[in-house]
Amino acid sequence: MDGIELAAKRISSSVSEVDLAVPTIHCAGCINAIEKTLMSTPGVLFARVNLTTRRVRIQWDSTAQQPDLFDAIKQAGFKAHVTENTRSDAGNDELQTHIRALAVAGFAAGNVMMLSLSVWSGADENTRHLLHLLSAAIAVPALLFSSRIFFASAWRALRVGRTNMDVPICVGIVITVLLSLFDTSTGGEQVYFDAAIMLVFLLLIGRTLETRMRAKAKRTVDDLARLQPTMAQIESADGQSSVATPVQQVLRDDLIIIDADQRVPVDCTIVSGTSTIDMSLVNGESAPTRVSEGNVLYSGCLNLNGRLRARVVNDVDESFLAQIQRQIDEAETQKGRYQQMADQIVRYYTPFVHIAALLGFLSWMAYSGDWHRAITVGVAVLIITCPCALGLAVPIARVIAAHQLIKQGVLMKEGSALERLALVETVIFDKTGTLTTGQPRLQLAASQFDRQSLSIAQELCQCAEHPYAKAVARYQPRLASATHHTTWQEWAEVPGEGIAARRGSDIYRFGRAAWALNESTEPADTIDGENSLSVLCKNTQQLATFAFDDTVRSDARQTIDRLRDQGLSVELLSGDVIGPASSVAAALNITKFQANAKPSDKLNWVQTHDAQVLMIGDGINDTPSLAAASVSMAPGTGADMTRKMADFVLLNNRLMAIPDAIAIARQARRIVAQNLALAVGYNVVALPLALTGLVTPLLAAIAMSVSSVLVIGNSLRLTAKNSERANLSLRHSATSASISP
C-alpha cells in the first residue's frame, strides 16, 4: 500500500483520492466490474473508471482503515498500478499489438476463404479433404496468435466468476474450431474455419479502430501533460541565486524565477520584470501578450523573452493546467443518461446470450436429434448476438465528441452536460468579459476623481476579480499616496456590487453607485449613458466617480447570428447600467435584455425560463445563475469560482466556439441515438434468425462484426462534421470586423 499512500492526495479533512492505472480495461463490462467491486469495498466512497486513459479514480474515508485497493481490483479480475505523471506509450504498444494481430488474421482469412470457395465450387471428396486440412493448417495457428486478445480478456473475467463481451466470442471460436477439426478428421462436408478466422479478423478491425481512436484521444491529455514543467527555479533566501526544485515541491507564496524560453511551472503573479508570454493555451490568441508586475501567469504558458520573478499563487495540483487535465478526466468518467442505460442493458444482456445459445442447442437437439446441427445453431447464436455494438454505442461517440470540443477550444467538465447542451433552447449571455473583451478602459473625460481618491481606489481594487476593478488597479501611472499604506481590514468583494473594506473607523466602498452610497442618496455626478459607472465612497459619502467603456468582441455578432440560425433565442443579462447594456444589445440585435441585474436578479431571470437554458458568464456575480441554468459555460479567463461552477470552459477567446459546441452536442446526441437503435435493432433481428437455424457461423461472424464497425464508423462522422465546422469558423473569422458599442 506504500505506493498508494505516496500517490494519494487529500481532497478534504476526511477523504483521500488516488488514480490507479488498469491497462487491461477495454469495454463497458470491465468498467462495471471494477466500479461495482470497489464500491462494495469497505471505506471506498467513490470509484469511477476512465476508459480512454484506462485509469480508475478512487476516493475513500481517510479517517478509517485504508482499504486494500489493489486487492479489490484484483478480485474484479484486473491488475492495477499507481499512475505516473510522465507520458506513457502503452496506448501505442496496444495499437501495435492489435495491428499485428489484425494483419495475421487478415492474411489467414483471405487464404482460408479462397480455399473455401474451392470447396463450395464442387470439389471431389479427396480434394475437399485436402482443402480442409490446408484450411486447418492456416486458420488454427492464426487463431492462436490473433485471438489471444479476446481469450485473455475472457479469462480475466471467468477466473473471478463473471462474464464480459469476449466470453461468448471465445466460446464460439472454441466450439467452431473443435467442431471443424472433428469434421475434418471424419471427412465431413462442412467445416467452419473460415467463420472462426473471419470472425476474429472483423472483430479486430473494430477493436483496432476503437484503440486508434482512444489513443488519439489520450494524446490530447498527454500533450497537455508535456506542457507542465517538471522543475521550477525557486529564489534563494538572499535573492542572489535560484535552486532547481521538483515542481511538486513548490509551495504557495514561494518566489520563482522564470527565464526566457521556459514554461511557467505553476500559477503565479509577477513580482518584477517584463516579458512577452505565449498565452495561447489560456486565451487562444496566437499573438504574444506583454506582461509586467502584477500580471497573473498560468502554468503551461511560455515565457518568450525576459527574466521574471513571480510569486506562486496555486500549488501545482491546483494550477490552471492541472485543472484542465483533471476536468478532461472527470468529463470522460461521468456517465450521462444514455451511458447508464447502455450499461444496464449490457450487464444483463451477456448472461442472456449464453442462456439463449443453450436453449437454441437444446431445442434443436429435441427437434432434430442432430447434435451437429444443434451445436452449429448454438454457435451462431453466441456469435451473432455478442453485445459489442451495444457496448460501443455511447462511449465511442461521447469520447470523440469530447475531444472534438477540445479542438474547438471548449473543455467539457461534466459528462452529462453534453446531453443537456444538445437540448438547449435559450442562450443567455453576461455582458462584460463575455460579449465584450472584458478589458474595460477608464474614461478620463467622463470620470471625476482626484489623485488621493484614485490612490485609495487602486489600493482597494488590487486583489479584486471584477474587470472594472482591474481597470482601476492597472491604470498608469499608479498614484500611490504615502498616507494610505495601512493594511485594509475586513476587505471583501461582494458579487454584483463591488468592494468594501475598513481602514480604522472608516468604511470604504467601491462599486455600484446605489450600493456604495448605501442607497441613501443618488450619485452626485451624472455620467454619459454610454459609459459604465462605479463610485468610491467613504462612510457613504461619495469621493469620486469612475466611468468605463468596453469593446464588443469581434466575433460576437457572427456568434449571435449563428445561434439564431440554430433555432435558439438569445438574451442578455448585465449588471451594468442601462446605457452600456442597451448599446451592446443594439449592436448585437438582442431584443430581450436586462440591465442593473444583481446576482439574485440574474438567478431569478434564469429560473423563470421553462425551456432548457445555456448561461454564459465570467464573473463571480454570475455563479448563482450558472448553477441554476440547465447547462453553463465560462471563459477560461473568467474568475476561478466561475470556471469551477461551469459545465464547459472556453479555453480561448472565440465566441464562435459556443455555436460550434452546440452543433457538436446535437450531432453527438443524434449519433448516440442512431448507435443505440442500430445495436438494439440488430440484436432484435439477429437472435430469431440464428435460433431458426437460418444463419451459419460464417454469416453470424460477418453480421456481428459489421454491426460493431458500423457503430464505430457512425461515431467517426463527428470528426468529419467537426472539420466542416472548423472550416466554416475560419471563414467567419476571416471576414469578421470589430464592432464597438
Alpha helices (H) along 279-370: 280-283, 320-333, 337-368
Grid coordinates given for 102: 489484425
Is residue 325 predicted with pLDDT exceeding 50?
yes
Cis peptide leading into 477, omega within 30 of 0? yes
| pLDDT-derived band at 286, boundaries 50, 70, 90 | low
Burial of residue 569, with CB atoms counted within 10 A of its CB: 0-12 exposed, 13-18 middle, 19 or more buried: middle
The residues annotated as belonging to the active site are 430
pLDDT at 483: 40
Give 216-273 pLDDT, tens digit per residue.
Answer: 656 656 666 677 788 899 988 777 778 888 888 888 888 999 998 888 988 899 998 8
Is residue 234 classed as helix, strand or coil in its secondary structure? Answer: strand
Query: Which residue type sits at 401?
Result: A
Strand partners for 592: 571
Phi/psi-derived region of residue 254, left when phi > 0, alpha when psi is between -120 and 50, beta in every other case: beta
Is residue 179 predicted with pLDDT exceeding 80?
yes
pLDDT at 509: 92
- C-alpha distance from residue 482 to each of 199, 396, 464, 479, 543 (Å): 83, 63, 22, 10, 18
Distance CA(602)–CA(619), nearest Å, equals 12
Give 3-48 pLDDT, tens digit per residue.
Answer: 677 777 777 778 888 888 888 776 666 777 888 888 888 888 888 8
Average pLDDT of span 576-592: 84
pLDDT at 666: 92
589-595: Cβ within 8 A, 24+ apart:
589/557, 589/560, 590/429, 590/560
Average pLDDT score over the chain? 79
337, 419 Cβ separation under 8 angstroms: yes
Tell me the torsion sign for CA atoms 248, 249, 255, 258.
negative
**DSSP calls for 244-278:** EEEGGG--TT-EEEE-TTEE--S-EEEEE--EEEE
**CATH says 441-549 is which class?**
alpha beta
536, 464 Cβ separation under 8 angstroms: no
**CATH says 231-324 is which class?**
mainly beta
**CATH says 2-84 is which class?**
alpha beta
- C-alpha distance from residue 470 to each of 296, 467, 476, 698, 723 (Å): 12, 5, 12, 70, 38
Average pLDDT of span 145-165: 82
Q: For the chain, give every domain's residue range.
A: 2-84, 91-210, 231-324, 325-437+551-741, 441-549
Distance CA(239)–CA(220), nearest Å, equals 38
Average pLDDT of span 720-730: 55
pLDDT at 552: 84
Please say whether the structural domain 325-437+551-741 has been given the CATH code 3.40.50.1000: yes
Q: Other CB atoms closer than 10 Å to residue 286's CB: what's the count?
A: 8
The strand order across the sheet containing 275-278 reads 262-263, 302-305, 275-278, 289-291
Region of poorest pLDDT, from 20-34, 97-111, 274-288, 417-431: 274-288
**DSSP state at residue 739:** B
Half-sphere exposure of residue 137, counting CA atoms within 13 Å on the CB side?
7
Give 350-386 pLDDT, tens digit per residue.
Answer: 677 778 888 888 888 888 888 888 888 888 887 787 7
- C-alpha distance from residue 208 to each of 110, 160, 202, 214 (Å): 18, 27, 10, 10
Q: Is the pTM of this model over 0.75?
A: no
Region of poorest pLDDT, from 280-289, 475-484, 579-588: 475-484
Average pLDDT of span 492-514: 86
Distance CA(568)–CA(590), nearest Å, equals 12
383, 704 Cβ separation under 8 angstroms: yes
- Length reported for the chain: 741
Which residue's C-alpha cell is 456481428?
704
Is residue 736 predicted with pLDDT exceeding 60?
no
Write the CB contacts of 125 (distance below 8 Å, at least 6 apart in sequence). 187
Say which residue, 15 or 416, is predicted with more confidence.
15
pLDDT at 3: 67
